[in-house]
Each structure stands twice: as C-alpha cells, then as structure tokens.
C-alpha cells in the first residue's frame, strides 16, 4: 500500500508543481501590496528544544505515517494519522475495483485562489461545483484499490493547504 501511495504522490507531483507556481504568483502579488515597514516576529528556540520537539513528534506516530507526511508537506501529521487509521474501513466498505464518487469540499480566503484550485482540479480530472464565492466542491469517479481513497484525500487536502485554504472534508458514494 505504501508503494501505491508513493506512486500516487509522484503522479500528483505535477499538480503540486502547478499549485506551487500559483502560490508563488499569489505571494508575489501580496508582497507588492504590503508596506515596507512590516514588522515580523520570530520565535527563538535553542537547538535542544527543537530536537526535543521533533523527537516527541516522531514518537507519537508510526513510521508509515511519518513517511506519508514527508510526501505531503502541507498536511498536519495528526490529520494524516487519522485518515491513515481509516484505511481498513475504506477497504472493507469499498472493496477493490468498486466504482465510487469521491467529493472534496474546500474553502478559500478569496475567489481568485478558489478559481486556481478549481483549475488545478479540472486539469487533474475532477469536476467542480462552486458553492459560493469562497467554497467549492470537486469530485471524480474512480475505481478503488488499497490506498487509493487515502491517496486521493491526501492529494486534494495537500493542494488545498498549499493554497492556504481549509480542507472541509470528503464524501464517498458508491
């Protein structure tokens, strides 16, 4: 299953690359609008504190979850662990080669970013339904196999997070 997730992550790399470009463009526009006298705060921690926090985080999650987290850098490890824990239920409820429709709902701060997300989704085979100025639902049909649902959830949620949106959840229908 991990190999399939990694394969799906590689396939999603193109979409993430597009998102990174969109994010960079949006960030450049924001930077131009910001005043030059912006104050930024940074947190100073000594090297030991940073190492301890990293070790505590690693102890909380399985090796597989941490490997998946490396593939999806915009996702919270806790979210990944929760979804990963549902894989057996997905496999039981939707046996291999079942045709499902999976829908994802996301919210963004502005219409421009939402439209960028819709375009990325449509370029990757998703249909879209605009719910309002900042919320959208994208969906696609797919045949299931072990890890396919998880991979889809991780790919879309990672894309939403990359664009600084909020992933509101998914729905699966047979």
Spell out the domains of the chain, with CATH numbers in brackets.
Answer: 2-26+44-173 (3.30.70.970)
Residue 18's pLDDT is 45
43: left (phi over 0), alpha (psi -120 to 50) or beta: beta
Cβ contact 96:146 at 8 Å = yes
The pLDDT of 122-131, averaged and rounded, is 96
pLDDT band at 26 (very low <50, low <70, confident <90, very high): very low
Residue count (the chain): 174
Q: Which residue has the higher pLDDT, 70 or 28?
A: 70
- Residue 84 is given by DSSP the state H
pLDDT at 36 over 80: no
pLDDT for 11 equals: 46
Dmax (CA) for the chain in angstroms is 57
Determine what percent of the chain is predicted with pLDDT higher than 70: 66
Q: Which comes out higher in pLDDT, residue 20 or 167? A: 167
Question: Could you tell me the pTM of the whole model?
Answer: 0.69
Contacts (Cβ under 8 Å, ≥6 apart) of 170: 102, 103, 104, 105, 153, 156
* 3 — pLDDT class (breaks 50, 70, 90): low
Confidence of residue 60 (pLDDT cuts 50, 70, 90): confident
Distance between CA atoms of 162 and 71, rounded to whole angstroms? Answer: 13
């Amino acid at each position: 299953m991990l190999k399939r997730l990694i394969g799906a992550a590689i396939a999603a790399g193109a979409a993430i690359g597009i998102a990174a470009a969109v994010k960079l463009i949006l960030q450049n526009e924001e930077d131009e609008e910001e005043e030059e006298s912006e104050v930024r705060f940074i947190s100073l921690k000594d090297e030991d504190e940073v190492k301890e926090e990293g070790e505590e985080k690693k102890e909380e999650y399985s090796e597989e979850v941490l490997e998946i987290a490396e593939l999806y850098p915009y996702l919270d490890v806790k979210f990944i662990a929760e979804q990963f824990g549902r894989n057996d239920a997905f496999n039981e409820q939707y046996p291999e080669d079942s045709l499902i429709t999976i829908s994802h709902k996301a919210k963004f701060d502005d219409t421009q970013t939402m439209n960028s997300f819709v375009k990325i989704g449509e370029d990757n085979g998703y249909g879209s339904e605009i719910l309002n100025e900042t919320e959208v639902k994208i969906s696609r049909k797919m045949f299931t196999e072990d890890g396919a649902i998880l991979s889809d959830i991780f790919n879309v949620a990672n894309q939403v997070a990359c664009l600084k949106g909020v992933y509101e959840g998914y729905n699966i229908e047979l």
